[in-house]
Amino acid sequence: MSQDKRIYVGMHDGVCAVFSGDGGKTWEQGPVTPLAHAAARLTASSAVPQRAYLAAYEAGVYRTDDGGLTWNRLGSYPTDYAHSVLAHPAEADTVYVGSEPAAVFRSSDGGTTWEEFGGFRAVPESTDWGFHAPTRDAHVRDLRLTPNDSNCMYAGIEVGGMVCSRDGGISWKQLPGLDDDIHCVNLSSDRPSSVYVATASAPYRSDDGGSEWELINTGLERRYALHIAAAPDAADLVLVTVSSSARRSHPQFYRSTDGGRSWKLVEGLGAGDNPEDMVVAFEWDPHDSDVVYAGTDGGGLYRSHDRGVSWHALPVHLPTVAVGALAVANG
């Protein structure tokens, strides 16, 4: 296994990579590429080493082919907004982007050309999608493919709920039964039928691919769930970050070993001298399921070697870490 580790980090005004060549013993921060707007989501390609994509909100879509040293804007992307991005796990040049107004685009040539999934906007419930601010529209906040079945895709809409395609994006169906203000969607390779969703009112879990949903907030002191992720090899081991409101006040970070039926507060992560420094992004290491990385709103980066029980800070400090804008890769 390669000893090279790379964390792609999106900030409110830029993007960079933090990398290690010795398995995480030492770390170095690469150059920052400025952005006109905040980074929204990052995805690392598992098919092409050192390739990653960035959805940069109002600044479009970017791609790096050198491990984050340089980022190139994909000027052919057809809209002004890019809220979510997802690299296909096996097809080297296939990438998906969620936009605003809520739509999903796919490129099969690494971002040179794009096609829209027309069936997405044809969902009957789409007439009810919207957003809190009158000057903004509903947007695709997160995109996920089902592990081991890339024809099954989930889209989380802010604000509009969950939508799913089981035929590679041709047709889509609304999945009712949970809060419609979606922030994050996650699935584990261990049990792909389990879908976790972080919403503005609470986290949810479905164990049947989204047909039925269970509220999993017992033991959580805060209601506003921002990010959620299960371990890739253990679907019942879950991390979630919550706060009192969209202003991220009184943030807390929790860990569950029973699929969210109960939660234990994780102490000391992102607190330090500022207890209001919220964990806004975290990602499991794709090649070592004992390791998980987290970033805070104030720019701190942390690593856990024991599956999220204890954490230590990496020797880098960025101005900010944008919500959800973190991706981990080898090489």
pLDDT per residue as tens digits for the range 74-91: 999 999 899 999 999 999
Q: In CATH, what number is assigned to the domain containing residue 38?
A: 2.130.10.10
Does 5 have pLDDT greater than 50? Answer: yes
Is the pLDDT higher at 27 or at 269? 27
| Predicted pLDDT of residue 270 | 54
Mean pLDDT on 129-150: 95
- Token output for 331: 């090489």
Does 23 have pLDDT greater than 90? Answer: no
Give pLDDT tens digits for 300-315: 999 999 999 999 999 9
| Predicted pLDDT of residue 275 | 75
Mean pLDDT on 122-151: 96
Q: What is the CA radius of gyration of the chain?
A: 18
Answer yes or no: are the C-beta atoms of 254 and 279 closer than 8 Å.
no
Give pLDDT tens digits for 36-95: 888 999 999 999 999 999 999 999 999 999 999 999 999 999 998 999 999 999 999 999
Secondary structure of the chain in the HEC alphabet? CCCCEEEEEECCCEEEEEEECCCCCCCEECCCEECCCCCCEEEECCCCCCCEEEECECCCEEEECCCCCCCEECCCCCCCCECEEEECCCCCCCEEEEECCCEEEEECCCCCCCEECHHHHCCHHHHHCCCCCCCCCCEEEEEEEECCEEEEEEEEEECCEEEEECCCCCCCEEECCCCCEEEEEEECCCCCCCEEEEECCCEEEECCCCCCCEECCCCCCCCEEEEEEEECCEEEEEEEEEECCCCCCCCEEEEECCCCCCCEECCCCCCCCCCCCCEEEEEECCCCCCCEEEEECCCEEEEECCCCCCCEEEEEECCCCCCCCEEEEEC
| Predicted pLDDT of residue 271 | 47
| Predicted pLDDT of residue 276 | 84
Q: Which residues contact 237 (CB under 8 A, 6 or more apart)?
A: 230, 231, 255, 256, 257, 307, 308
Nearest to 59 by CA among 69, 73, 71: 73
Give pLDDT tens digits for 271-295: 455 778 999 999 999 999 999 999 9
CA distance 181 to 197: 10
Domain limits for position 118: 5-330
Nearest to 158 by CA among 176, 136, 177, 173: 136
Is the pLDDT higher at 275 or at 178? 178
| Predicted pLDDT of residue 273 | 52
Mean pLDDT on 182-196: 97
CA distance 74 to 125: 31
Answer yes or no: are the C-beta atoms of 60 and 83 closer than 8 Å.
no
Give pLDDT tens digits for 156-168: 999 999 999 999 9
As a whole-number percent, the residues of the chain with pLDDT over 90 amount to 91
Mean pLDDT on 15-37: 93
Answer yes or no: are the C-beta atoms of 321 and 12 closer than 8 Å.
no
Domain count along the chain: 1
Is the pLDDT higher at 325 or at 273? 325
Mean pLDDT on 100-117: 98
- Token output for 21: 């060549």
| Predicted pLDDT of residue 317 | 85
Does 16 have pLDDT greater than 50? Answer: yes
Q: What pTM value is reported for the model? A: 0.96
